[in-house]
Amino acid sequence: MTEPELFHRSGTVMGGPWQIRITPAPGLDAGAAARAGLAALELVDRQMSTYRETSDLMRLNHAPEGDWVPVPADLHAVMAEAREIARASGGALNIALGGLVNAWGFGPDPAPAQIPDAAARRARDARAALDSYELRADPPAVRKTAPAQFDLCAIAKGFAVDQAARALRAAGATGFLVEAAGEIYASGARPDGSPWVIGLELPVPGKRIVYDQVALAEGGLATSGQYRNRREVAGASYGHTLSPVTGMPLDGDLLAVTVQADSVMRADGFATAIFVLGETEGLALANRHRIAAQLVCYEKTGARVIASHAWAVQTAQTAQAAAFAPTRPPA
């Protein structure tokens, strides 16, 4: 009997590639399920993109401080989760750095010819205080308490993948993989019963070298690093993740952080927070909050990989299932 093939669709959304893979099942309309998943991704993009002047996030950014601005429940949920991670990490995740993101050319504005001066960085940083906004749950609304500009790139893409996964389940899919801009959610199994196997790449600009694999049966995976999204400013190359303290792009020995979690939004946000904190403090944060995180650090002799306690436990559990499954290339 011939093994059923994966149903596969792909394209571009939120400024990056997306793909949905679905294991066929009796009575399942895989095409309709994939369309529902894509619609969920596109909805988050319409609500939370800084590249769309008509998005709900940009409407909030343009609003004066002190006014309650009605927002969709999804945007409220993302900003609430961002605040929780920000407080847990001492502000390492800061969604109020939109002004700095734009100043460096990582938002809608073009890259500057020169490094933004220290005074400008300090001015923008002063507006990006950790508690620069208040949330109201019913009806959902946000009020700025400082002239902050919000950028949700460090967490909204993960939320979009979570939403796509929910849409796929609602459409009847039980085995599927969703990926958008590098953030992944996997559920169930492939057609042959094997788990979804995700290849982890070394953070080498311009190259794709898989150094490890993770088997996912149910859950999300997100990676934060400086090696893909970069800009040339004043003759030097800078990565897109900024220090909330200095306003400068990070340039340390920690090259990439990958996080596993039930929620891709949570994995996305904590991956960024751990990356911003650096190897020592980032690993401590992961262990303190039982976050399954793997860190790739620079050494002269090559990359060094370290993991949190929860990562070791998580990968050991999923490896038990993968060990008895047929060999498959990374998804």
H-state helical runs in 155-292: 156-170, 264-277, 279-288
Interatomic CA distance for residues 143 and 127, integer angstroms? 14
- Say whether the peptide bond before residue 108 is cis (omega within 30 degrees of 0): no
CB distance 99 to 128 below 8 Å: yes
As given in the structure block, the two tokens for residue 331 are 């998804």
- Angle at Cα 87 formed by Cα 98 and Cα 48, nearest 5°? 35
**Cα(76)–Cα(93) distance, integer angstroms:** 17
Sequence ranges of the domains in the chain: 54-144
Token digits of residue 265: 């939004």
What is residue 330's predicted lDDT score, i.e. its pLDDT?
Answer: 45
- CATH value of 54-144 in 1.10.3980.10, 3.30.300.10, 3.40.50.2000, 2.40.50.140: 1.10.3980.10
- Mean pLDDT per block of 10 residues along the chain (331 residues) reads 77 89 97 98 96 95 96 98 94 86 68 61 53 93 91 95 98 97 94 92 74 90 75 55 73 87 97 94 97 90 89 72 43 48
Q: How far is CA 255 from CA 38, 99, 238, in A?
A: 31, 24, 13
Question: For residues 196 and 216, is the Cβ–Cβ distance under 8 A?
Answer: yes
> So what's the pLDDT on residue 97?
84
Contact 293, 257 (CB under 8 A): yes
Q: Residue 325's pLDDT is what?
A: 44
pLDDT score at 326: 40
Tokens of 182: 């590098």
Please report the pLDDT score of residue 230 as a whole number: 55
Q: Tell me, what's the pLDDT at 266? A: 98
Residue 324 neighbours by CB under 8 Å, 6+ apart: none
CA separation for the pair 188, 173 (Å, rounded): 9
Other C-beta atoms closer than 10 Å to the C-beta of 55 total 18
What's phi and psi for 289, nearest 5 deg? -105, 15
User: Can you read off the two tokens belonging to residue 316?
Assistant: 């050991």
CB 220 within 8 A of CB 210: no
